[in-house]
Amino acid sequence: DIDSISGSIDFLDTMKDLKPIIGCEFTLVKSYETKTKDCGTILLLAKNYDGWLSIARSISESNKHYYYERPHMTLDDVAKTITTGTVFALSGWLGSEIGNKIFSDSKQIYLSSSYESAKALVNKDWVTECSTLIGKYKEIFGETNFYLGSHLVDASHVHGSRLVSEGFRYLSKKTATPLVAVPDAYYSEAEDAYDQRVILVNNLNTNLKKIASKPVQGDEIALGRFFSNTNYHIPSYDEMVSYGHSEAELELTLAIANQCEVYSLSHKPMLPQFPTPNGESAADYMRQLCTVGMERRLPQINEVIKQGKYTKEVYDQRLETEFEVLTSVGLAD
């Protein structure tokens, strides 16, 4: 999921006969004060249950800073919410924080018509800036928990993607950081691309006909790749090889998977206990509060009754119904 883990429970249930790995791709910003546009993304994978809790805390933090129509957070806040050693962190594609630092304008790179025009947008200080950020990631997540990503799924039609991959292979050697093959799957099969496009144009408040007649503009530039290629499905091993990934990059995906534990998120809700006065039960105290609330609203209720819309008995019965619904499932607290 991107900026969300709402699909995790269903995912675990569906994958129960395989090995599910829960992760989230977070959108990062440089600062909350200036509300700077996103500076890139980072992918976190839960190694174990504690890793899941780390990612859940990060999600909660990111939703405190909801602007530009999606949750955001700073890398410093990511560091505060995760427990070191419980998650794997990956960065290494066009759109990731490190990947974006390779270019002077990471948005315009999607419009490059050739490898040469993409290369003209390379930031002259990219090696230093990327190496510094890699060091910060290792410090936050642990030396053995951070990986650079080799992302080649769209290198044939997004020229910046090829440059990023070349850059990351160089950075991998320079900084002694392992490089792992990273797909970019947004749907299961290639033929599902049409369905994703329908969802995208709906979110962009446009339609497929308009998208086909003119290029995507502004902040949606990066989304244009989804309308020119159907490669964003779950790839096979042979497909990943055909994209240009090495055997070592692909083997490392298994090494990461093997270090992730299987755990369950299926348990009863862990509700906080409300501190009731005089040791009363939560249900009894809630009934008292509901009765007080009903009395406080009597002037408005009586006005409605005068109009002949409802009777006092209807209101009393509704109170009992609502009360029964909450107490019958143990939600009085």
**Cβ atoms within 10 Å, residue 35:** 12
Q: What angle do CA 39, 123, 156 make, to 5 degrees?
A: 80
How many residues are there in the chain?
A: 333
Helix and strand totals (H; E) in the chain? 14, 7
Cβ atoms of residues 125 and 169 within 8 Å: no
- The pLDDT value recorded for residue 265 is 86
Q: What percent of the chain has pLDDT over 90?
A: 62
pLDDT band at 230 (very low <50, low <70, confident <90, very high): confident
Q: Is the pLDDT of residue 35 over 80?
A: no
For residue 328, what are its two tokens? 């019958």
Q: d(Cα 225, Cα 197) in Å, to the nearest integer?
A: 11
Cα(75)–Cα(27) distance, rounded to whole angstroms? 10
Kindly indicate the confidence band of residue 221, based on its pLDDT and cuts at 50, 70 and 90: low
Tokens for 130, please give them.
């990327």
- Kindly report, residue by residue over 243-256, the tens digit of the pLDDT: 999 999 999 999 99
- Residue 293 pLDDT: 95
Q: What is the band of 268 on the pLDDT scale with cuts at 50, 70, 90? A: confident
At residue 162, the pLDDT reads: 87
28 bridge partner residues: 40, 73
Q: Reply yes or no on whether the pLDDT at 25 is more than 80.
A: yes
Instruction: Compare 53 and 184 and report the one with higher pLDDT.
Output: 53
Backbone angles phi, psi at 40, to 5 degrees: 140, -175
Of 94, 79, 90, 95, whose CA–CA distance to 43 is shortest?
90
